Copies of this chain bind each other. A is one copy, B any other.
Amino acid sequence: MSSSLKRPEPTPPHALPDGAAAPAGAPLAIICGGGAFPLAVAEAARRAGREVVLFPVRGFADASVEAWPHVWIHIGRFGRLKSEMRRLGCRDVVFIGNVLRPRIRDIRFDWTTLTLLPQVFRMLRGGDDHLLTSLGRLFEESGFRLVGAHEIAPEILIPAGQLGSLAPAAEQMEDIALGRQALAVTGPLDIGQGLVVMNRHVVAVEAAEGTDLMLARVAELRANGRIKAPPRCGVLVKRPKAGQDRRLDLPSLGVRTVDGAARAGLAGIAVEAGGVIVADVDALVRAADRAGIFIYAFERDGAGEA
């Protein structure tokens, strides 16, 4: 549970006094939640010749981060994180990976965070988008520069077009169009980033439960006859929320999503090209082909119609 820097120890050549700007070339701070993305981003940054320090969030990040220069952090200890980031000379900061919304009484606050408590309370009242935007602003107000994971590692962004060996049929393109339209109106309300459309009918909308549980619900509704549709029918549609700060919380797609979509009897998955991140595209495509479902990335609205 220690939050001091662990093996391998990077020299902190750019250690900053409180409030000072870091020189270019300062190490990149990667605040790591759960899942495979943090290391994918760290590897991409290193490939690009950038020094990194990982700040894994205790309770969410995987232990595999410990192979990298890292400092474990705790939600609610913003003061500690800030001083560690400055000590190590970090200026740019990336948020990547899953962190569930904490219950305020479960957070142990440090002094800096306590002084920000009114702000923290306002942050926790509202949708995820609101929470993340406020969090991002907090870092920027402290002199850090918020950078999108996809700016550091553009290779995690899903490319446009058909990804595996299957393509959506005409009727699935209709479902995709309806799904895009629906997400365009729910996005500004910070409701979610995904839904399932079957036969021109939105049968499930993702909110706090997340994509995996929404797909499990569709599987269950099919099994108990509540949703009646032939096998391989329907599409999971995901895209970032309209107006969302893409430096924070881009929707992601992984093998687990593919398996969930297959269990829900869907024909495929459609996502916004460049708007959804994938830690390992090859593994994703193999899983989709194995499951017999398509993955299709449509162009972002206004960037040419799919």
Interface of A with B (CB < 8 Å)?
100-104, 106, 124-128, 130, 178, 181-182, 185-186, 189-192, 195, 199-210, 213, 217, 221, 225-229
Contacts and interface: CB of A to CB of B under 8 A. Distances in A.
A208 B185 contact: no
16 contacts: A100-B226, A125-B200, A178-B189, A182-B186, A185-B185, A185-B186, A186-B186, A190-B201, A191-B202, A201-B208, A204-B208, A204-B209, A205-B207, A208-B221, A208-B226, A209-B226
A202 B190 contact: yes
Nearest to A127: B201
Q: Which 9 A-B pairs have the closest CB atoms?
A: A103-B228, A205-B205, A203-B208, A185-B185, A126-B200, A191-B202, A125-B199, A127-B201, A182-B189
Given A126-B201, A195-B207, 17 more contacts: A100-B226, A102-B228, A103-B225, A125-B199, A125-B200, A127-B202, A130-B200, A182-B186, A182-B191, A186-B186, A186-B205, A190-B201, A191-B205, A192-B205, A202-B207, A208-B226, A208-B227
A208 B197 CA distance: 10
A94 B103 CA distance: 48
